Amino acid sequence: MIDPRVEAVLIRRRDQPGYEDKTSSVKSYAADGDYVHVIYSGGTSTRGYRYSARNVLILGNPVSRHLDAGQSVVANGQIVFGATEVVSFEEIAGTWCRIFYGARTGEKYITLHREDVEIVNDAARATGGQEILAYWRDVASNFEPRDSLRSSYNKLRNVPSGSVLDLYLRGIANDEPAPQNGELIFPFSSNVSQRTAVERGLSHRISVIDGPPGTGKTETILNLIANIVRNPGQTVGLASFTNAAVENVRDKLTKAGYGHVLADLGSNEKKTAFFTTKHAANAQAHRQAGSTPVDPPEVGRVQDLSDRAYHLHMAARSLAQLRQELDAFRLEQRHFDRHIDYHRPAPLPSLKLVEQPSKRILEFLADTATVQTRESSWRKLFRRLRTRIRYGSMRGVDPGDSDVVLQLQAAFYIRKIAELETEIQLAEDILEKNRFSDVERELKEVSRQALAAGLHQPLSTPPSIKLLG
């Protein structure tokens, strides 16, 4: 068998770019001109294959680097937990790195291009964050043995400098938005809250979207995915604790016609099925899509519709709030009417106050409720003048009389409900005049056109959505 710290045997993949590390299963190999003969060992049997020399990389000239206690390895943007050593193979074809790390089943390794590997120092040691990590690990050690958080917290040993966790441990806000590329598209349903979630999700390194069932989290995820994969060469991974959540997103994307950019990799069986059948079909679909490009929407069209939809969504939200407020005041009025029918207060004399906005009636009730029982003559005169200026003549009306208070409260409900009904009618007219439903539909259509234009661009690497549920 080949010593993985001395050599590496990489075989070019058939249905996707890059190489696959076959070192662990290679017993021997021999170069023969334009071909390389590789002998694999599998249990008690061996089997040989002949590859074109251009499809095989034999790496040597190893340079080993053992990691210090305060160092960790980041591979493709992810921390390799338990990493102990990095072996570099420098060849004409470029430098490759093999990362050795500890696992439950023993030592394992992964092999990547040098540019995909970074050795970073533990930022938590310099900032005192290791004490916090130790506390978290101690708390997690009391969880049930099968609790996934227990092993996750136990892996938190080193913190890469500049990572979200590093910023959190140092108490630095992680809310500085990164620049966005181009206008946002919304090929799936969206409201104001969902749009805000998409904008923040694309402009911040980490985001939390929370909400009860039925509030549109799945639609938000779909719009996030669309804005990522529309850019040539961009990929996105989707993971969940339950397969159902991932399958829900997968099914909606497939139904919308984007199944050819999906890779369902949630289990070994799904990986095998994808790379033996689905991947080739997806790649062919993508090549066909690239051969028939789709024209993008007119410049600024998506943004114009998006802005119009945003303002109309705000109007729709305001309308919903007004309706809720109206229902609440009508309910209060019904209960108050029962109360006033029981007391049967004397009618009010003709007052300009009851014709004023409900806010002014409420102000009068609040002002007169705080009148002192004993006040000087000049203060009483000043109060009467102020009342006349603000509320009109109150001749023959005693603000402290319970009948007066009840009748003014009844007038308040009448005016307030009338005002809300007027505001609701205005909001409904605005939505109808601006064809709210048509704008929403057109935004979806133009956004899907923009998405299709991005997906139909010829690429060496198709955009993909990796489903890891």
Tens digits of per-residue pLDDT, 57-90? 999 999 999 998 888 899 988 888 889 999 999 8
Q: What is the pLDDT of residue 174?
A: 65
Phi-psi map region of 122: left, alpha, beta (phi>0 left; psi -120 to 50 alpha): beta
Average pLDDT for the chain: 85
Structure-token match 């050819």, residue found: 260
Q: Which percentage of the chain shows pLDDT scores above 70?
A: 89
* Position with higher pLDDT, 3 vs 261: 3
Q: Which two tokens stand for residue 55?
A: 């499809």
Residues 6+ apart with CB under 8 A from 407: 345, 346, 347, 348
CB 468 within 8 A of CB 265: yes
Cα atoms in the Cβ-side hemisphere of radius 13 Å centred on 209: 20
Q: What is the mean pLDDT of residues 350-373?
A: 83
CA distances from 51 to 19, 39, 54, 292 (A): 13, 11, 8, 35
CA 69 to CA 63: how far, in whole Å?
A: 20
CA 49 to CA 434: how far, in whole Å?
A: 68
Amino acid at position 125, single letter: R
Q: What is the pLDDT of residue 52?
A: 94
Handedness of CA 239, 242, 247, 248 (dihedral sign): negative
Q: Which neighbouring-strand residues pair with 86?
A: 65, 99
CA distances from 331 to 290, 334, 365 (A): 60, 5, 21
Q: What is the pLDDT of residue 293?
A: 74
SS3 for 233?
coil
CA distances from 23 to 20, 27, 331 (A): 9, 8, 75
Report the candidate in 9, 113, 109, 19 with the shortest Cα–Cα distance to residue 59: 9
Q: What pLDDT, in 10s, does the model give residues 153-201?
A: 887 777 877 788 888 888 887 666 554 556 899 999 998 999 999 998 8
CA distances from 324 to 319, 320, 329, 420, 424 (A): 9, 6, 9, 10, 11
CB 253 within 8 A of CB 262: yes
pLDDT at 460 over 50: no
Q: What pLDDT, in 10s, does the model give residues 25-40?
A: 999 999 988 999 999 9
Report the candidate in 446, 178, 448 with the shortest Cα–Cα distance to residue 303: 446
Least confident segment among 19-28, 66-75, 304-313: 66-75
CA 466 to CA 469: how far, in whole Å?
A: 9
Q: What is the pLDDT of residue 219?
A: 94
- pTM given for the model: 0.66
Q: Which percentage of the chain shows pLDDT scores above 90?
A: 42
